[in-house]
Structure 1
Amino acid sequence: MTMITQQTWPVPRQRDAGPVVRLDGVSKAFGEVTALAEFDLEVHAGEFVCLIGASGCGKSTLLNLLAGLESLTEGRITRATSQPAVMFQDPALMPWLTAARNVELALQLAGVGRADRKTRTNEFLELVRLGGLGDKRPHELSGGMRQRVALARALASASIGAENDGPCLLLMDEPFAALDAITRDVLQQELLRIWRATSPAVLFVTHDVREAVRLGQRVVLLSSRPGRVVQQWSADGVPESALVGQINARLREVIGCHGNGSG
């Protein structure tokens, strides 16, 4: 197993050290459309939280607010870290750069010295099991490999946030949705391995209830638009099939209420 050095991940990683992010009464409107309303949520240090809900319920909008890509309409967002790292469904790699340079760029923009960032880049590529492939360009890699590069880049960015602020937050917007089932299953297990090694707080958006239960310590269901927290489940110690059934049943209720005009 790849070791994470103090240089690569520079602060002690402690779970349950308090909220990394807290949302109080957050609302977001786009003109006449209200995407989120009176949204309350906390994510604690080292916690893995999955957000699920019907299409258009505001999950991606929520991540954009947390990443600073959108401004909220009402409410308050409190973060214990200045800048979360973000990973999207599209790996968004620069095609003219090698895998290593795509990862290294996050460190370079943060002012990390050349020798130091090359060492860290190699360690992050090893962590996502791409050691020896740093000289490949995105078109030479499979879809799953490109997402591994994107994950390494997000972790590199998160390591800088951890170095500057303490706890770190990784925002993931359906990062495996475009992959085939086998690759998606492999990367889910890889993400859990990496999370256990580095312990960032993770807020993971997905439409797949089974994926949410498999990955998350906590699963949060959002209502149909405008998005609010409807119910939360702890995944610890609960059989996967039973929890998937419970959440799917509640999700159908939420969608049905919305379709009947009562939600």
Structure 2
Amino acid sequence: MSATLASPPKTASGTAVELTGVRKIFGRSGRAVTALDGLDLKVAPGEFVCLLGASGCGKSTLLNLVAGLDKPTEGAIELNTSRPAVMFQEAALMPWLTAARNVELPLRLAGFGRAERKEKAAELLELVRLGGVGSKRPHELSGGMRQRVALARALAATLRVDGQPEQALLLMDEPFAALDAITRDVMQGELLRVYRSTGTAVLFVTHDVREAVRLGQRVVLLSSRPGRVVQEWDTRVDDDSLTDEITIRLREVISTHAAA
């Protein structure tokens, strides 16, 4: 199978996305809610960053802003990749389309021709180890298989019709939260395999500290609402106590919010 997404060079510099002083307010006057306030964050090309925080701290809001689904009230977002692709907790596949046609959909919207769409969709399904299920519809697939199709579709959404090499960014909002423990473990391993083979930058939202440490090269902890970065950890450091350290810090953040 030919490479679908090119891995970035080892010396890649700059940022895939950078948020500077981002503030997001919903509502007006007395009913206004500040979801994010003064948030600064950088994701390097090809980097896997996990966002961790309590419910309501603005993690999903942050992804929506990066995806261009909403605009910040203040601050700047600089995106240096192709159009970000988003993967949600639910696979959200079109039930009347086959797995292959679901993957082809963003390619069609991007202007790829029919033959090229089919070829790239087949490559992507092979990449997520679903080469034999392209003709099946979502209801014929298990939950884990549907999420693999959703991952293939998200990767397809980062491709450009002109074929020019460009850094890609994948935004993932708790994509494995609805899966059972065994399937979730398998999908985490599959995601790491796909990530290492494509070099796509990933911004991954989770509530699970163990998931964050396993997947991310860097774990970023957000404060409770309004969300801002309070601490970061490099998971590539060989430290057996890292999961416990992050868990303790997360509990402190949640306790501070509860006491407010």
TM range (shorter): over 0.9
Q: Counterparts of 2:238 and 2:97 in 1: how far apart (Å)?
A: 44
User: Residue 25 of structure 1 aligns to a residue in which SS?
Assistant: strand
User: Residue 187 of structure 1 aligns to a residue in which SS?
Assistant: helix
Q: Counterparts of 2:73 and 2:123 in 1: how far apart (Å)?
A: 40
**CA offsets per residue over residues 59-80 of structure 1, 9 Å max, x none?**
0000000011111100000000
**CA offsets per residue over residues 200-225 of structure 1, 9 Å max, x none?**
00000000000000000000000000
Shift, 1:27, TM fit: 0.4
2:13 to 10, 17, 20: 17
Shift, 1:161, TM fit: 8.4
**CA offsets per residue over residues 189-210 of structure 1, 9 Å max, x none?**
0000000000100000000000
RMSD: 1.5
* Unaligned ranges ≥5, structure 2: none
TM-score of the aligned structures, taking structure 2 as reference length: 0.94
Q: Counterparts of 1:73 and 1:42 in 2: how far apart (Å)?
A: 19
Instruction: Tell me whether 1:45 sits opposite 2:40 in the alignment.
Output: no
The number of aligned residues is 255
**CA offsets per residue over residues 207-257 of structure 1, 9 Å max, x none?**
000000000000000000000000000000324x41110001101111111
8 A contact 1:24–1:77 mirrored in 2: yes
TM-score of the aligned structures, taking structure 1 as reference length: 0.93
- Show the counterpart of 1:219: 219
Q: Counterparts of 1:226 and 1:161 in 2: how far apart (Å)?
A: 39
Q: Counterparts of 1:183 and 1:17 in 2: how far apart (Å)?
A: 35
8 A contact 1:82–1:165 mirrored in 2: no
Q: Counterparts of 2:40 and 2:99 in 1: how far apart (Å)?
A: 38
Shift, 1:17, TM fit: 2.5
8 A contact 1:82–1:161 mirrored in 2: no
8 A contact 2:7–2:200 mirrored in 1: no
Shift, 1:177, TM fit: 0.2
One-letter identity of the residue aligned with 2:244:
G
8 A contact 2:216–2:235 mirrored in 1: yes
- Show the counterpart of 1:92: 92
8 A contact 1:89–1:173 mirrored in 2: yes
Following superposition of structure 1 onto structure 2, how do residues 144-183 of structure 1 map, counting pairs within 5 Å? 144-160=144-160, 163=163, 166-183=166-183
One-letter identity of the residue aligned with 1:96:
W
Q: Counterparts of 2:96 and 2:255 in 1: how far apart (Å)?
A: 47
**More displaced 10-residue stretch of structure 1: 178-187 or 162-171:** 162-171
8 A contact 1:98–1:136 mirrored in 2: yes
- Show the counterpart of 2:189: 189
* Unaligned ranges ≥5, structure 1: none
8 A contact 1:170–1:202 mirrored in 2: yes
1:27 to 18, 23, 26: 23
Q: Counterparts of 1:46 and 1:4 in 2: how far apart (Å)?
A: 20
**CA offsets per residue over residues 42-74 of structure 1, 9 Å max, x none?**
000000000000000000000000011111100
Shift, 1:159, TM fit: 2.5
One-letter identity of the residue aligned with 2:100:
A
Following superposition of structure 1 onto structure 2, how do residues 118-129 of structure 1 map, counting pairs within 5 Å? 118-129=118-129
Shift, 1:260, TM fit: 2.0
Following superposition of structure 1 onto structure 2, how do residues 136-147 of structure 1 map, counting pairs within 5 Å? 136-147=136-147
Structure 1 161/205 Cα, relative in aligned 2: closer, same or farther at 3 Å? farther
Shift, 1:23, TM fit: 0.3
Q: Counterparts of 1:13 and 1:161 in 2: how far apart (Å)?
A: 19
Structure 1 155/161 Cα, relative in aligned 2: closer, same or farther at 3 Å? farther
One-letter identity of the residue aligned with 1:256:
S
Structure 1 89/228 Cα, relative in aligned 2: closer, same or farther at 3 Å? same
Shift, 1:165, TM fit: 6.7
Structure 1 residue ranges (4+ consecutive) displaced by more than 6 angstroms after TM superposition: none
Instruction: Tell me whether 1:131 sits opposite 2:131 in the alignment.
Output: yes
